[in-house]
Copies of this chain bind each other. A is one copy, B any other.
Amino acid sequence: MTSVSEHLDIAPVPRTAAPGGVRLDAAELHASVSDPCLTAMTLLNDIAGRHPDAVSFAAGRPYEGFYEVAALSDYLSAFERHLVDDLGLGPEDVRRTFFQYGRTKGFIHHLITRHLASDERMTVDPESVLVTTGCQEAMVLVLRALCRDERDVVLAAYPSYVGFLGAARLVDVRVRPVAEGPGGIDLADLAEQIRRARADGLRPRACYVVPDFANPSGVSIAEDDRRRLVELAEREDILLLEDNPYSMFHGGEGRLPTLKSMDTGHRVVYFGSFAKTAFAGARVGYVIADQPMADGALFADELAKLKSMLTLNTSTVAQAVVGGFLLRNECSVERATVREAQVYRDNLRAVLTGLEKHFGEAGPLHGSGVSWNAPAGGMFVVVTLPFRADDALLTRSAERFGVLWTPMYHFYAGEGGSHQIRLSFSVLSPERIDVGIGRLAELVADRA
């Protein structure tokens, strides 16, 4: 893969510091600049960059085989027609919608609520939707708003999504880990961690969870546990931060209800993403924050105030493109991503088949101590190895065996995941997966 930068023909500007000129030291900058998570991701990217021919189970980006550049102009036209035909805007207001600073909360909120009604059976007040510059911005806004001072903390099921941990570091919010099992977040541990936080004089404000096919673990929360989780939040007086980027990519047996759809007490703040469904580059996501404020406004309105100091409105042209994508699919994202969902299902099967072939009961490496989980969907499988899976092993895996993966320990606060790796299969083909699992087997055989 090449990029714009590699094709640029610009003479480099000399990088010598001027005499007497400034030289900055990372140690003098905000601590988030030196976040270990960032360093880890940089290292992983470096290794990947040095081994472009390796089979990469490390890349987490969505499948790209169905993208067409011409679709972008088509989506813009579809959205323009919607403004004129469905909403009755005149030419001047259409121009303003596309070109001017706009409503901070966005202008595709009504299409998002239609999508949620159609795909997730959720009834959502459009005024509670804040369209954001990707779901990442939504996380930053919610964390910034919820945490007033250093006594406010949030909880998260660990291993946890690095984007959430990064967002927390950026706004100096402490995240306290909660255990996760094969069935998702451990509810007893959640209650215990809330108790401990309070005993430490802290205010646990919210707990972050990905109920469907979590990144990195691939696990999902069963329907009964979802209900118990919402009840626990109510009982303990905390919010749940539900992140749902993967629910469209279920194994074929349909989706479980979201926490938000069970939420009668406004306990759930819901993060939505179009990164894996429309396209990642658009940077369009959203948050549903229907919590009533004391003055009658919604939490979404408070978040919009913060957004007005961070990025103002989400890019109009990006919103219009995603709006057109929704309109072209009658606001059903499930319908829009039928082909991608099939790719992910086929790839998940290929990963599990490959693992069984080499490490299963009839496999040559049966008994070598390799085990794995079998998620019902999503983009990730976790493999447990009989030896440490650290950055040194990854380097060796890339150099000697031509296969890349992500060490799981990066997704834990401190301890945990030392012998585990995450296999991401979203951009591969079943054939490449078969080759890649074979190489992984060679690595295991070599170390065993």
Contact = CB atoms under 8 A, between A and B. Distances in A.
Contacts of A76: 69, 72-73
A314 interface: yes
B101 A280 contact: yes
Given A96-B64, A312-B134, A33 B306 contact: yes
Contact of A313 (B281, B298, B313): B281
A300 to B, nearest CB: 11
A310 interface: yes
B283 A311 contact: yes
Interface stretch (A9-17, A247-255, A344-352, A371-379): A9-17
B69 A308 contact: no
Contact of A69 (B16, B94, B134, B313): B94
Interface residues of A, number: 122
A4 B144 contact: no
B24 A96 contact: no
A265 B167 contact: no
Contacts of A3: 93, 96-97, 102-103, 107
A281 B98 contact: yes
A66 B278 CA distance: 31
Interface in A150-203: 163, 166-167, 169-172
Interface string A256-269: 00000000111100
A54 interface: no
Nearest to A8: B110
B67 A296 contact: no
A95 B107 contact: no
A103 B137 contact: no
A281 B294 CA distance: 32
A242 interface: no
A309 interface: yes
A255 to B, nearest CB: 22
A145 B38 CA distance: 14
A15 B321 contact: no
Interface string A45-89: 000000000000000011010011100110011001001000111
Nearest to A205: B28
A85 to B, nearest CB: 11
B264 A21 contact: yes
Contacts of A99: 64, 67, 279-281
Given A98-B69, A234-B20, A302 B29 contact: yes
A291 B22 contact: yes
Contacts of A313: 281, 283
17 contacts: A3-B96, A4-B103, A12-B125, A12-B127, A24-B293, A30-B145, A30-B147, A33-B145, A33-B302, A67-B95, A67-B99, A73-B73, A101-B280, A136-B309, A136-B311, A166-B309, A283-B312
